[in-house]
Chain A
Amino acid sequence: MERLHFATVGSVDDGKSTLIGRLLYDSKSIFEDQLEHIEAVSKRRGDDYVDLSLLTDGLRAEREQGITIDVAYRYFATPKRSFIIADCPGHIQYTRNMITGASNADLAIVLVDARTGVVEQTRRHSLLVSLLGVPHLVICVNKMDLVEYDQAIFDKIREEFETFASRLDLRDVTFLPISALAGDNVVSRSANMSWFEGPTLLHHLENIYIASDDNRIDTRFPVQYVIRPQRADTPDYRGYAGRVAGGMLRVGDDIMVLPSGLTSTITGIDSPDGPVEQAEPGQAVTVLLKDDLSITRGDMLCRPNNRPRTSQELEAMLCWMDDAAPLQLDKIYTVKHTTKLARGKVSNVLYRLDISNLHRETNIKELKFNEIGRVTLHTTSPLFFDDYHQNRTTGSFILVDESSGQTVAAGMLLSPRS
């Protein structure tokens, strides 16, 4: 069975937690003791309904304030697929936690309140989903029950979003009119919206085609760990462990090692289940080579005729995530990119993106908490990378503050503007 990892995003009161509660409840994935628990807490608080958000708001501070602070992960399965849900916070100050939840997602659900339509947080989150390269987007126009299931309102929101989204890089967008509270078009089809001919949300999640989202063309294998048993029964074993970041590895393939540029041939691939003939993106394997080369963690294997870009001067979209201090130009940070550690500094902010209208603001000298900008980055040693849109693994990096140890920025590498 295949697994779909999806994130739910959107503004604070658009009904994310209720939608997740509805999906879990209608797919019979809520356990009795969990339901009893949230019923008891709701009752003790004096609520006259069962607050389904208590299912995902697991921290004391979240329950006290009634908001989602950090991403919560939930798991459920239907006979067709299993699912990981990353329930992301809606508040602007917790955007870094929203990015954490969405960075690995195959699909993002953006909730929109039918009564208010597209609001700033809808635009912000859609932009982030687009920047993060989440392959599939579902716009759920929620609370249709509160607008009398009016098709005109759904159509208007759809147009409004499409106008905004035409300037974003979104490959696959689906619009669904739903009511998470009443259950319309979530798991079962709505009798109240016979005008809508599309699928229910669950049907869409179960059937959307995701197998082609990985890059299976450009072979990339960042070396993570060298396995040398030095045991009597395997005296000469020397394997390069890692996770395939792109393309296919096959026994017999010619490969090139970066940065050395030396070439060799794959003589064996060991998986957690033993030897295999080939490995595909996402697989954790150990590669054996014909020649005894000097290869260490941070090196990369690729095909001799299909290499990643190699450079110490890079351009990236940078999301600044540190609430303690802004990005300082020319300050040295640690750069973590695939399995490679380097140090680097941002020499220039080309522009800052105004998230509400996508305007590019120039003459910027810093990026503050939750701001996004296009920057040039200089690193102490070359990175082997691809454009983020070609490869989410070899195109991404983080910056770490060397004194606090905090992860202060997430970066997506791009081709330099011509």
Chain B
Amino acid sequence: MKSALRSLIDEAVTIIREVAAEFERPAMLFSGGKDSVVMLHLAARAFSPARVPFPVMHIDTGHNFAEVIEFRDRAVRDLDVQLIVGSVQASIDAGRMQDATGPRASRNPLQTVTLLDSIKEHKFDAVFGGARRDEERARAKERVYSHRDAFGQWDPKTQRPELWGIYNGRHKPGEHFRIFPISNWTELDIWQFVADYNIDLPSIYYAHRRQVFRRDNMWMAVSPFLQPEDGETITEELVRFRTVGDATCTAAIESSASTIEQVIAETSVARITERGATRADDRISEAGMEDRKRTGYF
């Protein structure tokens, strides 16, 4: 009997190889978050004993958790892949956009400009992303091969039919595809893979004590980029991160899960979705993710 995780691995490996075979210049987005870590490990297994035949790219807002950047550099060294960094700060310095200002400023939406500029600069025609359909309702609708026009836009109304395991990556010059090999994985599948293959993750995924403050019913981490406002008090709590993104809009959850097994036990009984529990950026509007995706976001 085939296990569910086994089929997911086979599907993802097949998609990654298909893209390597069909596109001229693929790249894989890599943030150091658990989904992109799992995706990169799948790529390494897809081409073993050869090297991964494309670079990884990190779109860096400059507002990072230090542990994640350190992990990122270690991971690309261990897996022997080339790292390209697209810097939001560099885009701001070049006048491509203005920095977000104000007390609740986040560079999260600015990543889209840097991402699209980097895709253009390196002439990438396929960009792998670690998005999962169980994360969010707009992502639940997206194809594995997702077409982007010359402006990097996603048009959900004209998605190509995608039957069986046959993918259509035909595009015009200047257009590109976003590829989602782990579309069908759930948060629990990711953790099961991490457990079965003993995958190293940034330490902030496990319980640790951290200076935090309460905002919008979420625990935000104090950092050089995010400070409490009047009326918000700093306390030290035992927390972990369920998702890892820009430090200004990613919240921690109270947790004492310090091993993979404990995280799996906690995730199995979670009553709140991971983005619902941790992402300030999804709370902007009912269709926040769809609107961002339409303009070229991950």
Enumerate chain B interface residues (CB-CB to A < 8 A): 1-4, 7, 9-11, 13-14, 17-18, 20-21, 42, 45-51, 133-134, 136-141, 143, 156-157, 159-166, 168, 170-172, 183-184, 186, 188, 270-273, 276-277, 286-287, 290-291
Given contacts A75-B184, A229-B51, A272-B42, contact A284 B13 (CB under 8 A): yes
Cβ contact of B271, chosen from A32, A74, A225, A400, cutoff 8 A: A32
Minimum C-beta distance from B156 to chain A (A): 5
Contacting pair A70 B156 (CB below 8 A): yes
Report the bound CA distance from A374 to B48 in whole Å.
Answer: 43
Contacting pair B161 A321 (CB below 8 A): yes
Is the CB of A309 closer than 8 A to any CB of chain B?
A: no
Contacting pair B49 A237 (CB below 8 A): yes
Show 8 A/B contacts (Cβ-Cβ < 8 Å), sorted by A.
Answer: A2-B2, A31-B271, A31-B276, A73-B140, A75-B186, A103-B163, A272-B13, A410-B163
Is the CB of A99 closer than 8 A to any CB of chain B?
A: yes
For B156, the chain A residues whose CB sits under 8 A away are 59, 61, 69-70
Closest chain A residue to B44 by CB distance? A272
Is the CB of A1 closer than 8 A to any CB of chain B?
A: yes
Contacting pair B165 A243 (CB below 8 A): yes
Within 8 A of B (CB), among A330-353: 334, 336-339
Given contacts A61-B157, A297-B21, contact A229 B166 (CB under 8 A): no
For A357, the chain B residues whose CB sits under 8 A away are none
Contacting pair B168 A241 (CB below 8 A): no
Majority DSSP secondary structure for residues of B touching A: loop
Contacting pair A397 B166 (CB below 8 A): yes
Interface magnitude class on chain A: 35 or more
Given contacts A31-B271, A34-B273, A58-B290, contact A3 B141 (CB under 8 A): no
Given contacts A59-B290, A284-B13, contact A270 B164 (CB under 8 A): no
Cβ contact of A272, chosen from B46, B50, B139, cutoff 8 A: B46
Enumerate chain A interface residues (CB-CB to B < 8 A): 1-3, 31-34, 41, 55-61, 63, 69-75, 77, 82, 84, 96-97, 99-100, 103-104, 211, 224-225, 227-231, 233-234, 237, 241-243, 270, 272-273, 280, 282-284, 297, 321, 334, 336-339, 392-393, 396-398, 400, 402, 405-407, 410
Contacting pair B161 A3 (CB below 8 A): no
Closest chain B residue to A36 by CB distance? B276
For A396, the chain B residues whose CB sits under 8 A away are 163-164, 166
For B272, the chain A residues whose CB sits under 8 A away are 31-33
Report the bound CA distance from A56 to B133 in whole Å.
Answer: 11
Count of inter-chain pairs, beta carbons less than 8 A? 171
Report the bound CA distance from A337 to B168 in whole Å.
Answer: 11
Contacting pair A284 B10 (CB below 8 A): yes
Cβ contact of B137, chosen from A58, A100, A337, cutoff 8 A: A58
Report the bound CA distance from A224 to B18 in whole Å.
Answer: 7
Minimum C-beta distance from B134 to chain A (A): 5
Interface centre among B13, B139, B141, B165 (most CB of A within 10 A): B141
Closest chain A residue to B147 by CB distance? A405
Minimum C-beta distance from B89 to chain A (A): 32
Extra contacts besides A75-B133, A75-B186, A284-B9 (20): CB < 8 Å: A34-B276, A61-B157, A63-B287, A73-B184, A75-B134, A84-B184, A103-B163, A103-B164, A231-B49, A231-B51, A237-B49, A237-B50, A241-B17, A321-B161, A337-B166, A338-B166, A396-B164, A398-B166, A405-B170, A405-B171
For A61, the chain B residues whose CB sits under 8 A away are 156-157
Report the bound CA distance from A69 to B155 in whole Å.
Answer: 13
Minimum C-beta distance from A144 to chain B (A): 29
Closest chain A residue to B42 by CB distance? A272
